[in-house]
Chain A
Amino acid sequence: MTTPSQTVGPYLAIGLPWDDGPTVVPEGTPGAVWIRGVVTDGERNPVPDAMIETWQADPQGRFDHPDDPRGRVEGFRGFGRCPTKPDGSYAILTLLPGTIPGEGGATQAPHIDVSVFARGLLNRVVTRVYFPENTAANAADPVLKSVPADRRGTLVAEKTEDGYRFDVRLQGEAETVFFDV
């Protein structure tokens, strides 16, 4: 029987951050983009003691994992981890994921799975980042389509000069869509 989840508490910063956590690929990697954002609470205050984790496919839509039925492709870590700063901000340097097979022969638009941990979160919350330039793929994506239309926008990052902006609003107006996995 599964062990219950508990909060990371206020001191996760002593235990979980890694020096190379925010860089899924090393700085200077061709094509790498920064995904930056701010985590805020129900009063729009920054959450300075949160941590963002990301998990994604490589640019070809493949995973470095034996359960990828097309075969494991090694070399792309696919995982990022960044604690938030006092202003609630985080930043992850990565390559854009490719299109990913979905159910019944459908495809999924490129996306990154995100876990958010913080004091006051007794369990992680899970969301997804989609990318604004993939208009057609996003419109056809089975997960995005399952989200009420007026909330879908919270899952689509904004284009910026060095990558994308993806804010996480834990509660309240324009609350980010969180998933039950």
Chain B
Amino acid sequence: MAAPTSNKLILPRYRRDPEGTHPPLDSPGYRSTGLRHPKQPLVLLPQMLTEVTGPLLGPGRIGEQDNDLTRQHAEEPQGQRILVHGRLLDGDGRGIPDSLIEIWQANAGGRYRHIGDNWPAPLDPNFDGVGRTITDSAGRYEFTTIKPGAYPWKNHDNAWRPAHIHFSVFGQAFTQRLVTQMYFPDDPLFFQDPIFNSIPDEKARQRMISRFDYSRTTDHWALGFEFDIVVRGREASVFEDEEDE
């Protein structure tokens, strides 16, 4: 098979995250991990072309109102209107431009518009809980939505999920793909939540909590919250010599 050749492959490398940044796949406190975590050790995958590239999903993916979850129906949803904004950054603090961000969340009563959610809080006919946007040239994004409610689940006795918004980001490379949850400051439910507490490193855990932002709070309109999402950073470029063909 003839492979495309070049004299040099110049590939970026993405730094590994410090131990404790991400949750162990086997986290017994979160019961659903029990039968779903791999038991064999992960095999180290060197970063090659497939890993240092990734889908660049542009504006064709989103509609005009997709970043305003309060305007997707004829009427406004119930609940506390909020503005969630921030930047998508790489590990060196550089904004990642033109990158797709997707969010989904429960309504103000803590209920998801999903057939499997049987929690007896009412659905809101004016709220789907789904948003998308593309970061601007500085990596900034913003969503207008309502503050999601906490909700009970069956993980342990009297288990409640702290209010959260699911975030899905791509960055620029397969290595940077990240799905996380954004939490709200001072939530009294953190102490008993095994998903939030699955992050071993205390400082890393705190990075999932948004910051109340009075400067982006709009008088008589919405409370502001700031949430930066940081994906893995690059090492300096590596030059690989290839034999001349």
Contact = CB atoms under 8 A, between A and B. Distances in A.
A171 B208 contact: no
Contact of A55 (B33, B54, B91, B241): B54
Nearest to A151: B40
Contact of B180 (A6, A15, A126, A171): A6
B22 A77 contact: no
Contacts of A101: 3-6, 9, 48-49, 242
A131 to B, nearest CB: 12
B113 interface: yes
B25 A62 contact: no
Interface of A is mostly: loop
The winner among A41, A56, A120, A175 for most chain B CB atoms within 10 A is: A120
Interface stretch (A28-36, A139-147, A159-167): A139-147
Interface in A126-181: 126, 128, 137, 142-143, 146-147, 151, 170-172, 175-181
Contact of B45 (A47, A49, A176, A180): A180
A50 B4 CA distance: 36
B178 interface: yes
* Chain B interface size range: 35 or more
A108 B241 CA distance: 16
A174 to B, nearest CB: 10
Interface string A28-67: 0000000000000111010101000101110011111101
B173 interface: yes
Interface residues of A, number: 80
28 contacts: A1-B230, A4-B199, A4-B204, A5-B22, A7-B195, A10-B116, A12-B166, A14-B112, A14-B128, A15-B166, A53-B177, A55-B50, A67-B11, A67-B53, A69-B11, A98-B3, A100-B3, A105-B5, A107-B3, A111-B50, A115-B177, A119-B36, A120-B37, A122-B25, A123-B25, A170-B36, A175-B39, A176-B38
Contacts of A143: 45-46, 48
B212 interface: no
A148 B151 CA distance: 44
Contacts of B95: none
Contacts of A56: 50
